[in-house]
């Protein structure tokens, strides 16, 4: 734990000053679980966002991007639905996303350009707008400062658990808070995934500086996870800063910026790891740390290749200490690797040194791999750069879930 911030037990996306949230069941899912959520700030908040790199970008992403641009980097509300991605739905899909923005703005009596839209669920099906319209009409009554959990439930699809965290950062002017909520379980791969992430803070920070921080944090967190190698059409992470904590404006030259950035990065990493841990059908979190790379880009590429390997993931599920699969993934990552200098560890078990196998306690390593967290460490001995990626094992359950996703 970094001493510059503390985790607040029970803290939610609404803990930072000025934020409220809510969720309700609008009938977009077959279950009775909440499927429409709202995140609201009592003042226009500095906003930043990152989006999927998939060429097929869903309509809500376009609308949110337009809102942030038209609103001079400000958002005041985000409306989010689960159960329907509103992706690959043509002109009607974009019209529906804009209608969601308009309806939400009217319900909250704010400008349309201060509303962002996010959707997640099945691709290629039109939104049932009659249900959406009725649901949005009920969102203002669902808003509350203690409804962060309702919001978390409303954004979930195949997720098994809610994913949220809040930290407090001590600054020279007093405490500021950073909180996050996310969803994601399948169709998860670096360069964003079928995930939605929302980060709130009451720090005073400009949209430009918040964008820089979000992009940096995303590269080290959300872009370093994988479940199944598929990058979605709907991924988006949005950050909002109310500025209501008071104090001077935080910026990269401010003496408190590092503490703020550390707390922000920790929230992003926690949410990213929570998504990987909750991968569809997963039984364990897999962490791959690559050290000794020639540069950070190489370290990241190798770590993501190893953690995304179906063979490595299968070996983790089967508790098979088959380090050959790890080496094969390292070698096909397309990055500089000296085939004579690689070390590999499974937890505390050194299994390869200088690219040569070494004796290790196989039964004990198998027991280690049966745990709920597996760490793989690869040292290339070529430089000083390092990176960490997160994923999960590949199980029979993943196939069962995705073979019947629409049913």
Cα 117 vs. chain centroid, distance in angstroms? 17
pLDDT of residue 1: 47
User: Which pLDDT value is given to residue 123?
Assistant: 86
State pLDDT tens for residues 59-95: 999 999 999 999 899 999 999 999 898 988 999 999 9
Exposed/middle/buried for 400, CB within 10 Å: 0-12, 13-18, 19+?
A: exposed
Model confidence at 45, in pLDDT bands (50, 70, 90)? very high
Choosing among 3.40.50.720, 3.60.70.12, 3.30.2310.20, 3.40.50.300, the CATH entry for 5-277 is 3.60.70.12
Task: Verify whether residue 231 is a known catalytic residue.
Answer: no
Domain ranges of the chain: 5-277, 285-403
What pLDDT is attached to residue 29?
A: 85
Statement: residue 185 has pLDDT above 70: no
Q: How far is CA 62 from CA 67, 106, 204, 235, 361, in A?
A: 9, 20, 27, 12, 54
Task: Name which of 41-45, 85-89, 258-262, 292-296 the model is least confident about.
Answer: 85-89
Beta strands in 264-399 (DSSP E): 285-293, 343-346, 349-353, 356-357, 373-379, 385-392
Domain 285-403 architecture:
Roll (3.10)
Stretch 132-150: mean pLDDT: 96
- What is the rounded CA–CA span in Å between residue 22 and residue 93? 24
Q: Which residues pair with 390 in a beta bridge?
A: 225, 287
Report DSSP state, residue 232. Answer: -
Has this prediction a pTM greater than 0.95? no
Three-state SS for 361?
coil
Tally of residues, the chain:
407
User: CB neighbours (10 Å) of residue 144?
Assistant: 14
Residue-wise pLDDT tens digits, 86-131 = 988 999 999 999 999 999 999 999 999 999 999 988 888 999 999 9
Kindly report which listed range (169-183, 216-230, 282-296, 299-313) carries the lowest average pLDDT score: 216-230
Q: In a 10 Å sphere around its CB, with 0-12 CB exposed, 13-18 middle and 19+ buried, how is residue 390 labelled?
A: buried
Q: Which one is catalytic: 194, 226, 231, 395?
A: 194
């Amino acid at each position: 734990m970094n001493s510059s911030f503390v985790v607040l037990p029970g803290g939610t996306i609404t803990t930072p000053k000025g934020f409220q949230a809510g969720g309700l069941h609008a009938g977009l899912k077959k279950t009775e679980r909440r499927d429409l959520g709202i995140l609201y700030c009592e003042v226009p908040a500095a906003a930043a966002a990152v989006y999927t790199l998939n060429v097929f970008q869903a309509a809500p992403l376009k609308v949110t991007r337009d809102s942030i641009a038209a609103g001079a980097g400000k958002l005041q509300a985000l409306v989010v639905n689960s159960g329907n991605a509103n992706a690959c739905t043509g002109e009607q899909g974009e019209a529906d996303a804009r209608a969601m923005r308009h309806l939400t703005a009217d319900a909250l009596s704010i400008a349309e350009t201060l509303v962002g839209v996010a959707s997640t669920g099945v691709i290629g099906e039109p939104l049932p707008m009659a249900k959406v319209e009725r649901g949005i009409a009920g969102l203002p009554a669902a808003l509350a400062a203690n409804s962060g959990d309702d919001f978390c439930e409303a954004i979930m699809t195949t997720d098994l658990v809610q994913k949220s965290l809040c930290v407090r950062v001590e600054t020279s002017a007093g405490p500021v808070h950073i909180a996050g909520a996310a969803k994601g379980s399948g169709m998860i791969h670096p360069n964003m995934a079928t995930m939605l992430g929302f980060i709130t803070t009451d720090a005073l920070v400009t949209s430009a500086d918040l964008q820089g921080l979000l992009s940096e944090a995303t590269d080290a967190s959300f872009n370093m996870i994988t479940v199944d190698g598929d990058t979605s059409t709907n991924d988006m992470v949005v950050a909002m800063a109310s500025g209501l904590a008071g104090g001077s404006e935080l910026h990269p030259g401010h003496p408190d910026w590092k503490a703020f950035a550390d707390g922000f990065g920790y929230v992003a990493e926690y949410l990213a790891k929570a998504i990987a841990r909750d991968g569809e059908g997963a039984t364990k979190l897999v962490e791959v740390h690559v050290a000794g790379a020639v540069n950070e880009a190489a370290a990241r590429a190798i770590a993501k290749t190893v953690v995304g390997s179906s063979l490595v993931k299968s070996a983790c599920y089967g508790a098979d200490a088959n380090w050959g699969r790890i080496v094969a993934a390292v070698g096909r990552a397309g990055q500089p690797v000296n085939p004579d200098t690689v070390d590999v560890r499974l937890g505390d078990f050194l299994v390869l040194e200088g690219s040569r196998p070494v004796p290790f306690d196989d039964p004990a390593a198998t027991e280690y791999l049966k745990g709920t967290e597996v760490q793989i460490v690869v040292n290339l001995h070529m430089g000083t750069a390092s990176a960490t990626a997160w994923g999960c094992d590949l199980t029979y359950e993943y196939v069962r879930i995705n073979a019947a996703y629409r049913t």
